[in-house]
Amino acid sequence: MRANIVEAITGAVVLVIASGFFYYAYTASGTKIVNGYKLYAKFDRIDGLVEGNAIKLSGVKVGDVKHISIDPKTFLARVDMSVDSSIILPDDTSAQIVSESLMGGKYIALVPGGSDVNLAPGDQVTYTQSSMGSFESWIGKYLFANNEDGDTKAEK
Judge if pTM exceeds 0.75.
no
* 30 and 45 Cβ atoms separated by less than 8 Å: no
Query: Tens of pLDDT along the chain (156 residues)?
Result: 677 888 888 888 999 999 988 877 766 665 555 578 999 999 998 888 999 999 999 999 999 999 999 999 999 999 999 999 999 999 999 999 988 876 678 899 999 999 999 999 999 999 998 876 666 666 777 777 765 555 544 444
List, in sequence order, the alpha helices (H) in the chain.
Answer: 2-28, 135-143
Q: Domain ranges in the chain?
A: 1-31, 36-141
